[in-house]
C-alpha cells in the first residue's frame, strides 16, 4: 500500500477534502433521516435502552477525550523525538488544547440555547475527526498547536453537551443514575484503550514501510477508527429527547462560592492529573519501559476507566458533597506518587536491588489506580450538580466546573513541562503533580451538600 502522498502537502489536502465531504454528507443524511417527519417512535429507544444510549454518548467521549486528547501522551515521545521538541514545547501543545477547551466551554452556552445539545455534540465530533485526520499531513509545530487548539475547542462543546445529556438520561432512570454517568465518563477509557492497542502498531507499520514521519500515519489511522465509532453513535444520540435550555435570572443562579471547596479541588485536579497523563509515558521511557510494556500500561489505564463505572456507581448516587471527589483525588495522588518515587529511587534501589518484576507490578498498579479514578473526578462534579442544583441549572453547573477544569489544564502542561526542562526533570514535575492532587483531595473533602448550612465548610 503506497501512501507516498503524505510527503506532498498538496496531495494531502486533496485527500483530506474528500474525507471531510464524506463525513459532512453522512451527518446531513442522518439528521435528515431523523427529522420530525421521519422519526416517529424513534425517541422510545433511549427510554427502552438507557444503557445502550449511555454507551452511544460514551463513544463520543472516547473520540473527543480518549483519542483526540489523551492519546497525545502516546504520540508525544514519538513526535518529540522526530520533531526535536523540548518538554516545554511538547507540553505547550496540550496547553493549546486546554485553551481551546476553555474557550469552547465558555462559548457553548450560546450555541446550546440556539440549537440544543445534540447538534453541537454531533457536529463538533465530526470536526474533531477531520482535524485528527489532517494532523497526519503536517509537521510544523505552529500548525500542530492550532490543530490541538481546535480539538480542545470541540472537546469543550462535546463534553458539556454529552454530560448534560447523560445527566438528563440518568434522571429518567434514577435506579441506574450512577451507572449511566459512569458509563458516559468511562467512555474516555475506551478511547484510551483503543489508542494503546493501535497507536504504536500504526506507527511501527509506517516505520517499517519507510515513511519519514510514521506518527502521521498513526494519526490518520486513529481518525479512521474515530469515524467508525462516530457512525455507531450518531443515530442513538439524535434519537434522544433533551430538555430545552431555560433562561435563569441571575438572582436565581446558585452562587459559585457555594461550590468553593469542590470547585477549588477540581481546579487543582485539572492541573495535577494532566501532568501525569501528558508526561508519564515519556518518563517511563526514560526509565527503560518500552514497546509492549508501554502499551500494557496505557491499556490498563483505559480498561480501568471503563470498569470504573461499576466500581463507583453507588458512591456517585449517594455522595451529595465533595466526598467522592476527595477520595478520587487521594487515589490519584497515590497513583501519581508510585512512578515518581520509582524515578527518584531508580539508580539507587530499583535497578540494583528490586527485581524488574516488582518494578512492573508497581507501574501497572499505578496505571490501574489512576484509570479507575481519573474520569470519576469528572463524573463526581456532574453528580454533585445533579444532587445540588435545580434541574434548569444543570447546564450552568456543568459548564462552571468544566471551565475550572479547563483552566487547570491550561496551567498544568506548561507548569510541568517548564519544571521538567529547568528544575530537575520529569520526576520533579510529577512530584509537583502529586502534591497538587493531594491538596485537591483535602479541599474537596471540605465541601458539604447545599442541604447543609455549612456548604462552605
Query: Does any domain span residue 453?
Result: no
Residue 230 to residue 235: CA distance in whole angstroms: 9
Residues 6+ apart with CB under 8 A from 34: 42, 235, 238, 239
Give tens-digit pLDDT for 409-436: 888 878 888 888 888 788 888 899 999 9
Query: Does any domain span residue 366?
Result: yes
Residues 6+ apart with CB under 8 A from 1: 209
Query: Does any domain span residue 306?
Result: yes
Mean pLDDT, rounded, for 152-158: 92
Q: Residue 306 sits in which domain range? A: 13-35+47-242+258-445
Q: Where is mean pLDDT largest: 223-227, 317-321, 386-390, 447-451?
A: 223-227
Residue 350 has pLDDT above 80, yes or no: no
Query: Does any domain span residue 311?
Result: yes
**Regarding predicted confidence, which is higher, 28 or 400?**
400
Residue 21: the pLDDT is: 52
Of 326, 341, 162, residue with least CA distance to 240? 162
Residue with cell 450560546: 110
Query: Does any domain span residue 1?
Result: no
Mean pLDDT (the chain) is 82
Q: What is the b/e burial string over 33-44, where b = at least 16 CB atoms within 10 angstroms of the residue's CB?
A: ebeeeeeeeeee
Domain count, the chain: 1
The answer to whether residues 308 and 178 touch, using CB atoms and an 8 Å cutoff, is no
Residue with cell 518515587: 341
Give tens-digit pLDDT for 232-290: 998 888 888 766 555 554 555 667 788 899 999 999 999 998 788 877 887 787 777 77
Residues 6+ apart with CB under 8 A from 340: 427, 430, 431, 433, 434
Mean pLDDT, rounded, for 144-160: 93
Give tens-digit pLDDT for 282-325: 778 777 777 778 888 888 988 998 888 778 878 888 888 999 99
Residue 428 to residue 305: CA distance in whole angstroms: 26
Query: Does any domain span residue 176?
Result: yes
The answer to whether residues 36 and 242 touch, using CB atoms and an 8 Å cutoff, is no
Query: Does any domain span residue 271?
Result: yes
CATH number of the domain to which 139 belongs: 1.20.1250.20
Give tens-digit pLDDT for 54-85: 999 999 999 998 999 888 888 988 898 899 98
Give the C-alpha distances (Å, rounded to integers) separating 259 from 237, 386, 399. Answer: 31, 13, 13
C-alpha cell at 123: 457536529
Query: Does any domain span residue 248?
Result: no
Q: What is the b/e burial string over 264-284, where b = at least 16 CB atoms within 10 angstroms of the residue's CB?
A: bbbbbbbbbbbbbbbbbbbbb
Residue 100: the pLDDT is: 92
> 390: phi > 0 → left, psi -120 to 50 → alpha, else beta; which?
beta
SS3 of 320, please? Answer: coil
CA 103 and chain centroid, separation: 16
Q: pTM of the full predicted structure?
A: 0.77
Residue 439: the pLDDT is: 97
Q: What is the b/e burial string over 145-159, where b = at least 16 CB atoms within 10 angstroms of the residue's CB?
A: bebbbbbbbbbbbbb
Amino acid at each position: 500500500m503506497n501512501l507516498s502522498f503524505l510527503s506532498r502537502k498538496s496531495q494531502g489536502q486533496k485527500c483530506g477534502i474528500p474525507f471531510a465531504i464524506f463525513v459532512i454528507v453522512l451527518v446531513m443524511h442522518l439528521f435528515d433521516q431523523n427529522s420530525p417527519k421521519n422519526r416517529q417512535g424513534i425517541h422510545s429507544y433511549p427510554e427502552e435502552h438507557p444503557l445502550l444510549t449511555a454507551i452511544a454518548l460514551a463513544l463520543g467521549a472516547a473520540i473527543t477525550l480518549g483519542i483526540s486528547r489523551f492519546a497525545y501522551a502516546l504520540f508525544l515521545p514519538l513526535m518529540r523525538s522526530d520533531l526535536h521538541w523540548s518538554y516545554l514545547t511538547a507540553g505547550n501543545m496540550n496547553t493549546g488544547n486546554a485553551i481551546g477547551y476553555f474557550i469552547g466551554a465558555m462559548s457553548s452556552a450560546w450555541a446550546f440555547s440556539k440549537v440544543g445539545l445534540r447538534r453541537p455534540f454531533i457536529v463538533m465530533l465530526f470536526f474533531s475527526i477531520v482535524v485528527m485526520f489532517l494532523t497526519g499531513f503536517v509537521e510544523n509545530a505552529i500548525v500542530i498547536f492550532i490543530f490541538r487548539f481546535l480539538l480542545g475547542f470541540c472537546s469543550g462543546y462535546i463534553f458539556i453537551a454529552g454530560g448534560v445529556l447523560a445527566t438528563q438520561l440518568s434522571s429518567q432512570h434514577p435506579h441506574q443514575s450512577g451507572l449511566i454517568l459512569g458509563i458516559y465518563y468511562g467512555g474516555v477509557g475506551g478511547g484510551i484503550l483503543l489508542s494503546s492497542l493501535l497507536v504504536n502498531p500504526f506507527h511501527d507499520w509506517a516505520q517499517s514501510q519507510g515513511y519519514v514521519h510514521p506518527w502521521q500515519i498513526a494519526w490518520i489511522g486513529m481518525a479512521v477508527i474515530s469515524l467508525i465509532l462516530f457512525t455507531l453513535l450518531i443515530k442513538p444520540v439524535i434519537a434522544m429527547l433533551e430538555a430545552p435550555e431555560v433562561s435563569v435570572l441571575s438572582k436565581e443562579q446558585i452562587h459559585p462560592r457555594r461550590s468553593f471547596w469542590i470547585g477549588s479541588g477540581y481546579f487543582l485536579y485539572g492541573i495535577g492529573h494532566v501532568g501525569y497523563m501528558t508526561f508519564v509515558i515519556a518518563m517511563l521511557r526514560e526509565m527503560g519501559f518500552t514497546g509492549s510494556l508501554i502499551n500494557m500500561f496505557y491499556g490498563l489505564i483505559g480498561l480501568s476507566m471503563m470498569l470504573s463505572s461499576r466500581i463507583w456507581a453507588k458512591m456517585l448516587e449517594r455522595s451529595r458533597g465533595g466526598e467522592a471527589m476527595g477520595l478520587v483525588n487521594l487515589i490519584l495522588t497515590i497513583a501519581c506518587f508510585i512512578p515518581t518515587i520509582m524515578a527518584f529511587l531508580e539508580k539507587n534501589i530499583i535497578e540494583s536491588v528490586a527485581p524488574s518484576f516488582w518494578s512492573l507490578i508497581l507501574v501497572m498498579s499505578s496505571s490501574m489506580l489512576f484509570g479507575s479514578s481519573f474520569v470519576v473526578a469528572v463524573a463526581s462534579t456532574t453528580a454533585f450538580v445533579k444532587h445540588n442544583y435545580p434541574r434548569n441549572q444543570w447546564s450552568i453547573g456543568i459548564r462552571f466546573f468544566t471551565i475550572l477544569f479547563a483552566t487547570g489544564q491550561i496551567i498544568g502542561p506548561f507548569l510541568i513541562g517548564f519544571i521538567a526542562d529547568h528544575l530537575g526533570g520529569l520526576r520533579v514535575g510529577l512530584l509537583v503533580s502529586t502534591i497538587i492532587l493531594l491538596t485537591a483531595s483535602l479541599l474537596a473533602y471540605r465541601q458539604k451538600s447545599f442541604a447543609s448550612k455549612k456548604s462552605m465548610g
